């Protein structure tokens, strides 16, 4: 993908504003992830992208990864079709260096450090907030590249509203969901169930062993969200998400038909109280699980290995917001969580805890505002770690702000890194882990320009640098070591514009993620990404199109295997046949582009994983009026 193509897309995006369009200012949402308490998105200091339930339905996305690809600076790699392993790279950082939360709960597996985004159903999501840039001063470990928080569906509070959605499409794909939401001024709830099934695609390009078969995927999920407000000063809530199913994948070295039975679940409860006019206090208690059982669906095959990795996390968070006056605000909090692992592997340690305290002060003057935060983590394995953040906001006028910020991040080594059992064969054993590992650390410097240049347009520009130290990589003996240093320079742009009834959203990113020791580009990071969405309603009808362009990337640390860039065009349409019935049609990868986001090797050579070609999905949604 050439830079000239990106420049052309920017030039073609409508920039002029017209008075008869919907004002951008009227739809600014409240966000909670950037500062760990609710505030208007215009006031947050971190670069933040928000997707609401309306966005999810308008874009007709089929996976969380498909939604996150629209965020500036975010690229994704997948090893096949639906349910395949998904890597998320935020601002050039690794998959494990971005914190993923569901209703405030960490969902990353303690064994590998990665989060199972491929198993989360968009039908169970109310909104997604993506914070770009290190936030360890508020969240601790994993928040080097940023924080992605997913909120499950909630009740609207205006009566009982059942909903049913049925979809069918390419590759024998069937999507079914139903639920009911409701409530009143005091109580709100949502209860939903989803069943997604697909025959899938053949993820590999060779015919070695059983690799020529399609890789099916089945996911069933339940979600419950309940909240009750006793009065203006006291609110309690509970949420639960359970996703479980089976994903087939390829055995690259044998003739087996392996499958993974998975379960991803989280529970969260909270009490939110205004103790007085100055003090708001919120207490959260939660539990999350990530379970993987991998086996063989072909008993007669030569390989029938079975292994399982199960991780459990209990947590408690206490966040206090003190509004001292119109200029001073203080955030005080404490976090605790404990991780446990079990399964077929006998880890040398099976649990560890982390406890932390943090404070953040905000000052707002007429000509500027500041933010300064500090967090202290104490971990059972690596001891103590301090993380800082600071920001200065200078408003040039009501419509233009300059934000200069510094933030630190760190990531604790995983159980696999630290405690994986030794590999033994024929009476000889060799180490597989390194209990002396230190946390990975980062320092980030950023300048943001935010402009609401018209009633119907907004532009955000970010220029940043991230310095990574003690990054964990495998040495020549496949033992993890703190040896890599990296520097990531990047530019991001996000543009929103409404013109003649069309809504356009453009996200552009240019990054240079380099290993400072070798000068090589970091693995699977795309240097240039662009996402463009255009939508327009026509009465009961609505149409839209999306273009996603990704530059080439390297699939190995030595930069000898390059994956070609690609561009994908998708079309969508919606018809509201009545107040109760709506029809959706989505065409992905309209020109049937052949591309790969990762490679694999067998005895026959190295190949790129297949990605889905042209696909179609037709769905009908019924929302009966009661």
Contact 21, 455 (CB under 8 A): yes
User: Positive or negative, the Cα torsion across 605, 608, 614, 619?
Assistant: positive
When pLDDT is averaged across residues 462-466 and rounded to a whole number, the result is 98
At residue 210, the 3 state secondary structure works out as coil
Contact 533, 505 (CB under 8 A): yes
pLDDT at 343: 86
Q: Residue 6 — very low, low, confident or very high, per pLDDT cuts 50/70/90?
A: very low
Domain extent for 226:
3-622
When pLDDT is averaged across residues 22-48 and rounded to a whole number, the result is 82
Closest CA to 250 of 403, 79, 111: 79
Contact 174, 168 (CB under 8 A): yes
Contact 140, 354 (CB under 8 A): yes
φ, ψ for residue 11, nearest 5 deg:
-65, -35
Q: Residue 25 — very low, low, confident or very high, per pLDDT cuts 50/70/90?
A: low
pLDDT at 17: 34
When pLDDT is averaged across residues 381-405 and rounded to a whole number, the result is 95
| pLDDT tens figures, 283-301 | 999 999 999 998 765 544 4
Task: Give the span between the Cα atoms of 300 and 255, in whole angstroms.
Answer: 10
**Tokens 């009750």, residue located:** 228
| pLDDT tens figures, 394-418 | 999 999 999 999 999 999 999 999 9
Q: Lowest mean pLDDT: which of 22-36, 235-249, 298-312? A: 298-312
Contacts of 496 (CB under 8 A, 6+ apart): 24, 457, 458, 459, 503, 504, 505, 506
Contact 551, 2 (CB under 8 A): no
- In this predicted structure, the answer to whether residue 386 has a pLDDT above a threshold of 50 is yes
Task: Give the span between the Cα atoms of 318 and 412, in whole angstroms.
Answer: 22
Give the chain's mean pLDDT. Answer: 90
Which tokens hold the place of 478?
Answer: 């496949």
pLDDT at 415: 94
- In this predicted structure, the answer to whether residue 18 has a pLDDT above a threshold of 50 is no
Task: Give the span between the Cα atoms of 140 and 354, in whole angstroms.
Answer: 10
pLDDT at 76: 94
Task: Give the span between the Cα atoms of 317 and 298, in whole angstroms.
Answer: 45
Q: On the CB side of 475, how many CA atoms lie within 13 Å of its CA? A: 11
Q: Lowest mean pLDDT: which of 275-289, 472-486, 544-558? A: 472-486
Residues in the chain: 626
pLDDT at 475: 84
Task: Give the span between the Cα atoms of 133 and 131, in whole angstroms.
Answer: 7
| pLDDT tens figures, 308-344 | 899 999 999 999 999 999 999 999 999 999 999 998 8
Task: Give the span between the Cα atoms of 521 and 553, in whole angstroms.
Answer: 8
Task: Give the span between the Cα atoms of 139 and 127, in whole angstroms.
Answer: 20
pLDDT at 209: 60
Pairing, β 400-411 against β 440-454: antiparallel
| pLDDT tens figures, 91-112 | 999 999 999 999 999 999 999 9
Q: Residue 600 — very low, low, confident or very high, per pLDDT cuts 50/70/90?
A: confident
| pLDDT tens figures, 119-162 | 999 999 999 999 999 999 999 999 999 999 999 999 887 889 99
pLDDT at 413: 95
Share of the chain above pLDDT 70, in %: 92
| pLDDT tens figures, 495-525 | 999 999 999 999 999 999 999 999 999 999 9
What does DSSP assign to residue 416?
Answer: H
Contact 194, 94 (CB under 8 A): no
User: 92: phi > 0 → left, psi -120 to 50 → alpha, else beta; which?
Assistant: left
- In this predicted structure, the answer to whether residue 11 has a pLDDT above a threshold of 90 is no
Tally Cβ neighbours within 10 Å of residue 169: 19
- In this predicted structure, the answer to whether residue 603 has a pLDDT above a threshold of 90 is no
Contact 309, 341 (CB under 8 A): yes
| pLDDT tens figures, 479-496 | 999 999 999 999 999 999
Burial class (CB in 10 A: 0-12, 13-18, 19+), 44: buried
- Distances from the Cα of 510 to the Cαs of 93, 214, 493, 577, in angstroms? 14, 35, 9, 42
- In this predicted structure, the answer to whether residue 19 has a pLDDT above a threshold of 70 is no
Instruction: Give the domain CATH number at 318.
Output: 2.40.170.20
Which tokens hold the place of 249?
Answer: 């994948």
Share of the chain above pLDDT 90, in %: 80
> DSSP letters along 456-524, please?
TEEEEEEEEEEEEEEEEEE-TTS-EEEEEEEEEEEEEEEEEEEETTEEEEEEEEEEEEEETTT-PBPTT
Q: Residue 26 — very low, low, confident or very high, per pLDDT cuts 50/70/90?
A: low
pLDDT at 602: 76
- Distances from the Cα of 293 to the Cαs of 95, 217, 261, 483, in angstroms? 22, 15, 5, 32
- In this predicted structure, the answer to whether residue 69 has a pLDDT above a threshold of 80 is yes
pLDDT at 345: 85
Q: What stretch of H or E contains 307?
A: strand 307-323
In the beta sheet, which residues pair with residue 195?
A: 176, 220
> DSSP letters along 109-166, please?
-TTT----GGG--GGGEEEEEEEES--HHHH-TTTTSEEEEEEE----SSS-EEEEEE
| Number of domains composing the chain | 1
At residue 396, the 3 state secondary structure works out as strand
What does DSSP assign to residue 302?
Answer: S
pLDDT at 254: 63
| pLDDT tens figures, 237-258 | 999 999 999 998 877 666 577 8
pLDDT at 211: 67
pLDDT at 304: 46
Q: What stretch of H or E contains 56?
A: helix 53-59
pLDDT at 204: 86
pLDDT at 96: 94
Contacts of 537 (CB under 8 A, 6+ apart): 501
- Distances from the Cα of 298 to the Cαs of 244, 254, 301, 309, 426, in angstroms? 22, 11, 6, 21, 28
């Amino acid at each position: 993908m050439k830079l000239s193509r990106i420049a052309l897309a920017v030039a073609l995006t409508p920039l002029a504003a017209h008075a008869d369009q919907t004002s951008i200012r009227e739809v600014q949402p409240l966000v909670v992830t950037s500062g760990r308490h609710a505030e208007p998105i215009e006031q947050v200091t971190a670069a933040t992208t928000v997707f609401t339930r309306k966005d999810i339905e308008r874009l007709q996305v089929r996976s969380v990864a498909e939604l996150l690809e629209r965020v500036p600076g975010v690229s994704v790699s997948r090893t096949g079709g639906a349910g395949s392993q998904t890597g998320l790279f935020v601002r050039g950082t690794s998959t494990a260096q971005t914190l993923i939360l569901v209703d405030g709960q960490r969902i990353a597996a303690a064994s590998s450090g990665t989060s199972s985004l491929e198993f989360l159903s968009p039908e169970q999501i109310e909104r997604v907030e993506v914070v770009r840039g290190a936030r360890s001063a508020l969240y601790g470990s994993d928040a080097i590249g940023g924080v992605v928080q997913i909120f499950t569906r909630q009740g609207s509070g205006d009566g009982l509203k059942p909903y049913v959605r049925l979809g069918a499409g390419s590759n024998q794909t069937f999507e079914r969901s139903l639920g009911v939401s409701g409530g009143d001024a005091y109580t709100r709830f949502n209860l939903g169930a989803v069943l997604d099934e697909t025959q899938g695609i053949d993820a590999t390009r060779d015919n070695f062993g059983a690799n020529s078969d399609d890789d099916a995927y089945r996911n069933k999920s339940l979600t419950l969200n309940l909240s009750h407000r006793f009065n203006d000063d006291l609110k309690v809530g509970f949420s639960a998400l359970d996703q479980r199913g089976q994903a087939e994948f390829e055995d690259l070295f044998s003739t087996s038909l392996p499958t993974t039975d998975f379960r991803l679940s989280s529970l969260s409860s909270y009490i939110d109280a205004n103790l007085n006019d100055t003090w708001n206090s919120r207490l959260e208690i939660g539990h999350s699980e990530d379970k993987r059982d991998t086996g063989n669906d072909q008993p007669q095959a030569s390989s029938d290995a079975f292994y399982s990795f199960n991780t459990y996390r209990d947590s408690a968070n206490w966040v206090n917001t003190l509004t001292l006056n119109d200029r001073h605000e203080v955030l005080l909090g404490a976090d605790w969580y404990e991780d446990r692992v079990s399964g077929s592997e006998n880890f040398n340690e099976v649990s560890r805890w982390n406890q932390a305290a943090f404070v953040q002060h905000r000052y707002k003057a007429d000509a500027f505002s500041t933010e300064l935060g500090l967090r202290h983590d104490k971990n059972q394995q690596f001891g103590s770690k301090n993380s800082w953040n600071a920001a200065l906001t200078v408003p040039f006028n009501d419509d233009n702000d300059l934000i200069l910020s510094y933030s630190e991040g760190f990531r604790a080594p995983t159980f696999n890194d630290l405690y994986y059992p030794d590999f033994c064969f024929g009476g000889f054993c060799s180490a597989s882990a390194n209990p002396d590992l230190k946390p990975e650390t980062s320092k980030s410097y950023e300048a943001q320009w935010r402009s609401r240049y018209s009633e119907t347009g907004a532009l955000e520009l970010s220029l940043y640098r991230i310095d990574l130290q003690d990054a964990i990589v495998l040495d020549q003996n496949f033992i993890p070591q703190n040896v890599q240093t990296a520097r990531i320079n990047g530019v991001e742009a996000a543009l929103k514009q409404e013109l003649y009834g069309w809504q356009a959203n453009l996200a552009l990113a240019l990054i240079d993620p380099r290993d400072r020791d070798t000068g090589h580009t970091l693995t699977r990071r795309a240097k240039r990404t662009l996402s463009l969405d255009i939508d327009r309603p026509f009465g009961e009808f609505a149409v839209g199109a999306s273009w996603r362009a990704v530059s080439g990337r390297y699939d190995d640390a030595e930069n000898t295997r390059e994956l070609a860039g690609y561009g994908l065009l998708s079309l969508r349409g919606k018809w509201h046949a009545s107040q109760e019935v709506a029809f959706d049609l989505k065409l992905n990868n309209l020109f049937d582009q052949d591309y790969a986001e990762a490679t694999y090797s067998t005895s026959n050579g190295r190949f790129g994983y297949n990605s889905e070609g042209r696909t179609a999905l037709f769905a009908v949604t019924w929302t009966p009026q009661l």
